[in-house]
Amino acid sequence: MMEQIWSMLSDPNMQWIFLGCTLLGLSSGVIGCFSYLRKQSLMGDTLAHAALPGICIAFMLTGIKSIGLFLIGAGIAGVVATFGIGYITRNSKLKQDAAMGIVLSGFFGLGIVLLTLIQHGDYGNQAGLDKFLFGQAASMIASDVITMTVVCVSLITICTLLFKQFKIISFDPGFARGLGYPVAFLEQLLMLLIVVAVVAGIQAVGVVLVAALLITPAVSARYWTDRLGLMVVLSGIFGAVSGAIGTWISASVSNLPTGPVTVLAATLLFCISILFGPQRGLVAKRLLRQRVKQRFHQDNERLLEGNVKKEAAL
Amino acid sequence: MSQSPNAIRTATKAIAPLSIKGLSVAYQKKPVLRNVSFEVNEGELIGVIGPNGAGKSTLMKAALGLIPSIGGEVLVYGKPYKQQRKMIGYVPQRESVDWDFPTNALDVVLMGRYGHLGWFRRPSAKDKALALECLSKVGMADYAERQISQLSGGQQQRVFLARALAQDAKLYFMDEPFAGVDAATEKAIITLLQELKLQGKTVIVVHHDLATVQDYFDSVLLLNVELQAFGPTEQTFTQEQLQRTYGGRLAFLDRSLQSPSRHDGVGE
Amino acid sequence: MSDFWILLTGALVASCCGVLGVFLVLRKMAMIGDAISHSVMPGIVIAFLLSGSRDSLLMMFAALLFGLLTTFLIQMFQQSGIQSDASIGVVFTALFAIGVVLVSLYARQVHLDQDAILYGEIAYVHWNIWELGGVNMGPKAVWLLGTTLLIITTVIGLFYKQFKLCAFDPALAAAIGVPVALFHYLLMGLVSMATVSSFESVGAILVVGLLIIPASTAYLLTDRLGVMIGLSVAAGVASTFIGYGAAVVLDASIAGCMVCAAALLFVIAFLFSPSHGIVIKKIRLRKLA
C-alpha cells in the first residue's frame, strides 16, 4: 500500500492532481464558512446542480471540453439560478426551501436532458462528460489542473483580502450598510465566489456531492472555535485534508470516483468534531447538562431542607 | 370586576385548575425558570408579567409539556397534565404559525375541535356550527371563508381566540394575545376574557403592557426566572414588587403606573 | 403498449409525490425531501447486495430505514445547534457518498449503475413483468407504485386532520396530545417509500422534481389544502404526459423532460395564477392606477 502511494506521488501528473484537489478543499472550506454563517449552506448544492445545464450548453456551443469554458457556462447558470431563487421568494408566498428545490431540480432536469441530447447527437468528443456527475480527479489533464489551481489560489487571496468585509456582511449586513460598505456588491461577489468554488470542484468531486466541500468542513470547524478567523483556517485545513485523502484513495483503488471518498473523509472529520468539540461537542454537552442538573437538584434540596427547618421552627 | 372571584375562590378551593410545584427549565447552562411554584384559583384572569427573557412563554410551554423541564410537577385539576388535555385551551403567539397556509378562518377554528375528535373522526356538522358560533363571538363571522393571510393582524389574533373557544376548555393559556393588535381587537379580546371568567373558566395570559394590568387581571404573577410575586392584583402589582421584578429598568414605568388607566369600563 | 405503461408509471409516481410534496412544501421541508431522495441510495444498494435481486421487500425496508435515519440525524444535528440547512447538507451528502462508493466497489456484482439511479429506466419499465401462475400481470413497477400510492392515500386519508394540524400549528398539535414526532417520522417514512418505489423507474432527480415542483405550482393556485393536494397530483400527472411527449420528439432523457415540464407548468402558474400570479397582480395594479 505504502509503495503504491509513493509510486503514485512520484508521478508528476498525479502530483499536480493531488495539489489541485488539496487546494480545492482548502478554498471551498474557506468560502463555505461564509456561506454557513450567512445561513446559505444549501445554496452551494443548488448552484452545483444548476451548473450542469450551463456546462452542457458551453460544450454544445463550442464542442470543447475545458474547465475555463465550463466555468463561464456554469457561472452564468449559477447567477441565473440565484436570481431565480430570489425572485421566487420575493414575489410569491413560497419559502426559500421550496424555491431552492424548484430551481435545483428544474435546472438539473434540464441538464440531464441536454446531457442525453449530447450523448445522442453528434458532438464528437463527448466521452467523459458524464464524469461530471460524480467526479473523477484522475481524468483531469494538466491544463485543467493548472486552471483549477489558479482559480483556487485566487479564491483564497480574495477571501484573505476581503476578510473584514465578508465577516461583517455575514454577521450584520444592516450595520455594514451603515458603515458605507457596498453590501449588495459584496454579497454578489461572495455568491460569485461560491459559484466559482462549486464549478472548480465539479470535475473533481461531481455535481451531486460538491456541496459537501462547502458545508461539511465549515460545520466541523464551528465545533472547535467561536472565533471566525480560526474557524476559517480550521475549515480550510479540514477541506484540504479531505481533498488530499479523497484523491489519494480514489486513485489507488480502481473504479472509485473521487467525490464520494472526499466527502466521506470530510464526514469522518465532522463526526470527530461533533463528538469531541471542546464546548459544543456531544460529549462535552452531555457532561455539562449532567452537571447543571446535578447542581440544580442539590440547590433544590438545600432549599427544601431550609423550608422544612423554617416550618419546624414555626 | 373584583367581587365574583372571591366568591368562587372560597367555593372551589378544593382543586386548583392549575398547580405548579418546583418547575425548572434550563436550555443550556443557564436556567430559564428556577423552582417556580404557584396555584391558581378557578374563575380568575391571571396576568403573567415580567421583563424580556424572564421565561414567561417558557413557563407556559413547560406547563403544557411542549418543552422538557428538568424538574417539577404540573397538575391540572389535581391530575397530571397529560390526562387533562381536553380541559386546556392554548393560544400560541401569532408569529408561531405560517399564515400563508392554504386554509380559511373557519377551518382554523375547527382545528380547536380536533382534540375532542379522537384519532379518526372528522369534524361533524355540529363541530362546524360550534366553530362558526365561536367566530361570531369574536366578531369574525363575516370572515369565515376568508383565506387567513388576507386577515389583518388583529383579525388573525381573533381567529386564534375563536379557536381556543372551540376547544371548550376550562383552563386557558394565552401567549401575548394583545401583542400588536388594533384597539377594536383589544376590546374584543378583553370582553371575551370577561365572558370566560363569568363562565367560571380560568385564563392565564402572558402580558406586556403594564398600563393595562390593573384593568384586566384579577391576579398577577410576576416572573423573572424565579417567581417574584403572585397574588391579587391590587396587593401584588405594586411599585415595590415591580422594582424587584424589573430591576433597575423601572424608571420609565412609574408614569404608566400612576397615570389614570385609559381602559376604564372596558368589558363591563 | 409500452407508451401506456410508461405513462401509467409516470402518473403513479406523480400521484405519490404530489400528495406528499404538498406537506413537504407547507412544512418548509422541501430540501429534506431532496435529502431523503438522495440518502435512501445506500439502503437500496445494501439490500441489493444482500438479496441479489431488484424487487424485494428488503429493498423497500432498507430504504425506509435509511430515510428515517436521515430524518433522525438531521433532527439530531439541528437540535445540537447546527443550522437546519447545513445539517441537511452534511447528512445527505455523507449517505449518498456511501451509496456511490458501494456501487463503485461492487459494480460488477450488482448490475445497478449510477446512471440508472440518477435518471431511472422508465423506458424499460414494461420489460420487467410480474407473472403470476404464468399469467402476465403487467410491469412490476406499476404494481409496486400502485401499492405505495394505496398506502400513502390510506395513511394521509385516515390522519388528514393530524397531518394538517402538525403542518399548520405544531405547538397546538402537541398541546392537544397529537404525537407530533410520530407524524413527522410517518411523513418522512412515506416520502422514503415513495422515493424507493419510484427510483428504479424514474431515478432520483425526477422524484425530487415531482415532490417539490407540482406541489409548489398547486400552492400558487389555491387557498384550500384539499384542493391543493388535488391540483398537485394533476400538475404532476400533466408533467409526466407532456414530458414523455417531449422526450419522444427530442430523443432525450424521459425523466429529465418530465421534470422540465413540471418546471414549465410552475413558471406558468407563477406568472398567470389568478390569485397569486405576478403578471395578473401587475395588471390588477395597473387597473387600480
- The residue of chain C with its CA nearest to that of B102 is C223
pLDDT at A269: 93
List CB contacts (< 8 A) between C82 and chain A.
Answer: 219, 222
Q: Does residue B267 register a pLDDT over 50?
A: no
Count H helices and E strands in chain B, helices first: 11, 10
Q: Is A141 helix (H, G, I), strand (E, B) or coil?
A: coil
Q: What is the pLDDT of residue A125?
A: 55
Quick one: pLDDT at residue A218?
92
Contact with chain C for residue B128, Cβ under 8 A: no
Regarding predicted confidence, which is higher, B253 or B72? B72
Cα Dmax for chain B: 55
Which helix (H) or strand (E) covers residue B71, if one does?
strand B71-76
ipTM greater than cut 0.85: yes
- Distance from the Cα of A94 to chain B's closest Cα (Å) equals 9
Q: Where in the sequence is the domain holding A64, given as residue range(s)?
A: 15-211
Residue A2 pLDDT class (50, 70, 90 cuts)? low
- Cα-Cα-Cα-Cα torsion B97, B103, B109, B112, nearest 10 degrees, comes to -60
Quote the percentage of chain A above a pLDDT of 90. 19
The predicted pLDDT at position A123 comes to 63
Which pLDDT score, from 0 to 100, does residue C1 have?
Answer: 63
pLDDT higher than 60, residue B38: yes
Q: For residue A128, name the pLDDT band (cuts at 50, 70, 90).
A: low
**What residue ranges define each of the domains in chain B, with the CATH number in brackets?**
4-258 (3.40.50.300)
End-to-end CA distance of chain B: 8
Chain C residues within an 8 Å CB radius of B86: 176
Mean pLDDT taken over chain C = 85
Tell me whether residues B29 and A292 touch, CB distance under 8 A: yes
Whether residues A120 and C252 touch (CB distance < 8 A) is answered with yes
Average pLDDT over residues B26-42: 81
CATH code of the domain containing A28: 1.10.3470.10
The DSSP bridge partners found for residue C135 are C132
Determine whether the interchain pair B120/C158 forms a contact, defined as Cβ–Cβ distance below 8 Å: yes
Confidence of residue A205 (pLDDT cuts 50, 70, 90): confident
**Per-residue model confidence (pLDDT) at position B258:** 47
Query: At residue B8, does pLDDT exceed 50?
Result: no
Report pLDDT for B148. Answer: 87
CB of C219 less than 8 A from some CB of A: yes
Average of pLDDT values for B140-163? Answer: 87
Task: Assess B149–A contact: CB distance below 8 Å, yes or no.
Answer: yes
Residue of B nearest to A288 (CA): B29
Contact C169 B119 (CB under 8 A): no
Asked if residue A142 is part of any domain, the answer here is: yes
> Residue C113's closest CA among C125, C99, C126?
C99
Task: Give residue B155's identity as a one-letter amino acid code.
Answer: Q
Task: Kindly state the cell numbers that stand for B133.
Answer: 358560533
Q: How far is B108 from chain C (nearest CA, A)?
A: 9
Give the C-alpha separation, A74 to A114, whole Å: 14
Q: Which numeric CATH code is attached to C2-288?
A: 1.10.3470.10
Mean pLDDT, rounded, for B172-192: 86
pLDDT at B3: 46
Q: Is the pLDDT of residue C184 over 50?
A: yes
Residue A40 confidence class, pLDDT cut points 50, 70, 90: confident
Residue in C closest to A222 by C-alpha: C82
Establish if A270 belongs to a structural domain: no
Neighbours of chain C (3+ CB pairs under 8 A): A, B
- Any B CB within 8 A of A309 CB: no
> Residue A237 domain-assigned?
no
User: Do residues A33 and A224 make contact, with C-beta atoms less than 8 angstroms apart?
Assistant: no
A94-99: Cβ within 8 A, 24+ apart: A94/C25, A94/C216, A94/C219, A94/C220, A95/C28, A97/A42, A97/C28, A97/C29, A97/C30, A97/C31, A97/C85, A98/C25, A98/C28, A98/C30, A98/C212, A98/C215, A98/C216, A98/C219
Record: contact C165-B114, CB cut-off 8 A: yes
Q: Which of C26, C162, C174 faces B66 most closely, judged by CB atoms? A: C174
Higher pLDDT among residues A236 and A308, named by residue: A236
Say yes or no to pLDDT of A207 above 50: yes
Q: Note whether A130 and C240 are within 8 A (CB).
A: no
Q: Average pLDDT for residues A20-32, to the nearest whole number?
A: 90
Least confident of B1-5, B33-37, B190-194, C70-74: B1-5
Contacts of C269 in chain B (CB under 8 A): none
pLDDT at A129: 63
Write out pLDDT tens, residues B43-69.
Answer: 888 888 888 878 888 888 888 888 888
Q: Tens of pLDDT along A272-289?
A: 998 888 877 888 878 887
Neighbours, chain A (3 or more CB pairs < 8 A): B, C
Q: Which of A58-62, A162-166, B255-259, C88-92 has the lowest mean pLDDT?
A: B255-259
C55 pLDDT tier (thresholds 50, 70, 90) = low
Asked whether residue A191 is assigned to any structural domain, the reply reads: yes
Of residues C278 and B255, more confidently modeled: C278
Residues of C in Cβ contact (< 8 Å) with A91 = 270, 278
Lowest mean pLDDT segment, chosen from B241-250, C190-199, C220-229: B241-250
Summarize pLDDT for C118-167 with one digit per residue, the tens: 666 666 666 677 666 666 667 778 888 899 999 999 999 999 989 999 99
Contact A102 C38 (CB under 8 A): no
Q: Using a pLDDT cut of 90, give the percent of chain C over it.
A: 35
How many CA atoms lie less than 13 Å away from C199 in the CB half-sphere?
28
- Judged against a pLDDT cut of 80, whether residue A165 lies above it is answered with yes
pLDDT (0 to 100) of residue B34: 84
Is residue B2 predicted with pLDDT exceeding 70? no
pLDDT at res. A303: 64
Mean pLDDT value of segment A177-182: 80
Structure confidence at residue A3 as a pLDDT band (50, 70, 90)? low
Alpha helices in A121-226 (DSSP H): 142-161, 163-171, 173-179, 183-205, 210-222
A293 and B70 in contact by Cβ < 8 A? yes
Question: Cβ contact (<8 Å) for C213 and A44?
Answer: no
CB contact under 8 A, A293 and B100: no
* Other Cβ atoms closer than 10 A to A275: 12
Give every CB contact of residue A208 below 8 A, 6+ residues apart in sequence: A48, A49, A133, A134, A259, C38, C96, C118
A81 occurs within a structural domain: yes
Q: CB-based contact (8 Å) between B120 and chain C?
A: yes
Question: Which residues, listed in sequence order, are joined to residue B36 by a DSSP beta bridge?
Answer: B23
Q: What is the pLDDT of residue A312?
A: 59
Q: What single letter denotes the amino acid at residue B93? A: Q
Tell me, what's the pLDDT at C54?
A: 64
- Say yes or no to pLDDT of B263 above 80: no
Q: Which of C29, C104, C257 sits opposite A113 (nearest CB)?
A: C257
C284 touches chain A (CB under 8 A): no
Any idea which of A142-151, B145-154, B248-257 has the lowest mean pLDDT?
A: B248-257
Residues A115 and A49: beta-carbon distance below 8 Å: no
Contact A209 C216 (CB under 8 A): no
Confidence band of C22 (pLDDT split at 50, 70, 90): very high
Dist. CA B177–CA B195, nearest whole Å: 16
Q: How confident is the model at residue A124 (pLDDT cuts 50, 70, 90)?
A: low
Please give the mean pLDDT across all residues of chain B: 79
What are the chain B neighbours of C161 within 8 Å (beta carbons)?
A: 111, 114, 117, 122-123
Choose the closest CB to B26 out of A292, A300, A303. Answer: A292
Instruction: Give the model's pLDDT for residue B268.
Output: 31
Taking CB atoms and an 8 Å limit, are B35 and A292 in contact across chains?
no
**A44 pLDDT higher than 90:** no
How would residue A131 be classed by pLDDT, with cut points 50, 70 and 90? low
Tell me which of B109 and B14 has the higher pLDDT: B109
Q: Is any Cβ of chain C less than 8 angstroms from the Cβ of B65? A: yes
Residue B257 has pLDDT above 60, yes or no: no
Mean pLDDT for C239-248 is 92
